[in-house]
A = this chain, B = another copy of it.
């Protein structure tokens, strides 16, 4: 029980999984016993990165209270995105690049958040600050996280610091970031083994916007038509979800990783608000959102503005 467990958010993505592994490695390197765990199955993109650099997916935990007394959070801080039982353990550290909300501690802690595109970019700095050498395989994981979170530097969330970190890590990992990165993104966008239910839940986040309840789900695809060809079935599933969860809006975003655009499907009684949010006409509930790839920086702010004004 003295061991510290390190984990990212629910519905884990590549940054969350690899940052947990990498940060646990760093803690072990400086003499602190730590284990990376996950709050769910890894996705295809993350699996590609783990396989490439020779790592297993972290053990999945259900609730944290039986696992450890002390924990480190990476890539998130909001309670509803974290492990069940989080209130029963002590958060020793947080390494994150999101806003801070629904987070509170009883004691002082190490909290390191920076407004960059990826948690791995921050951890790369901490390696240097602690004087710990980054092995090639660990560099590969961090590079994968940056590629994933910035869509190969194309997302508006990408900062100069992310690019610089990726260039450093590319050398250590001994891969070509453009070539490897595109292969990894394509692996993540391979939806052939996914059910439609999977597509709607794999990376779905719920938001309160004013008094409204909104779910925004996002998937990456090489060909958005692979997904949108099944619109009728998708709408049936989404409509059921809206009823069950009493949602005001379900916004489903399929992001084209080659052209860096997204196609959105909007359902629910506030679906029309999406038109003013993005200044486009939705035809048969669907619209192309030119240049939109980031939920955090583009979709959430635009919908929040439209729904709360």
Which positions in A face B, CB cutoff 8 Å? 97-115, 129
A108 touches B103 (CB 8 A): no
**CB-based contact B105/A99 at 8 Å:** yes
| A103 to B109 Cα, complex, angstroms | 14
Extra pairs beyond A99-B107, A110-B115 (18, CB < 8 Å): A98-B108, A99-B104, A99-B105, A99-B109, A100-B100, A100-B104, A100-B109, A101-B104, A107-B115, A108-B113, A108-B115, A109-B113, A109-B115, A110-B113, A110-B114, A111-B112, A112-B112, A129-B129
Nearest B residue (CB) for A105: B99
What are 23 sample pairs from A and B whose C-beta atoms fall under 8 A apart? A97-B108, A98-B108, A99-B104, A99-B105, A99-B106, A99-B107, A99-B109, A100-B100, A100-B103, A100-B104, A100-B105, A100-B109, A100-B111, A101-B105, A102-B104, A108-B113, A108-B115, A109-B113, A110-B115, A111-B111, A111-B112, A112-B113, A129-B129
- Docked CA distance A98–B107 (Å): 7
Assembly CA distance A104 to B110 (angstroms): 17
Which residue of chain B has the shortest Cβ distance to A128 in the bound complex? B129
C-alpha gap A31/B95 in the complex (Å): 26
In the bound complex, how far is the Cα of B111 from the Cα of A100, in angstroms?
9
Which chain B residues border A111 with CB–CB below 8 Å?
A: 100, 111-113
CB distance from A123 to the nearest CB of B (A): 15
Q: Which residue of B lies closest to A117 (CB)?
A: B108
Q: Cβ of A108: which chain B residues have Cβ within 8 Å of it?
A: 97-99, 113-115
Expressed in whole angstroms, the Cα–Cα distance for A114 and B95 within the complex equals 12
Nearest-Cβ distance from residue A111 to partner chain B, whole angstroms: 4
Most buried by B among A100, A102, A114: A100
CB A86 to nearest CB in B, in angstroms, measures 14
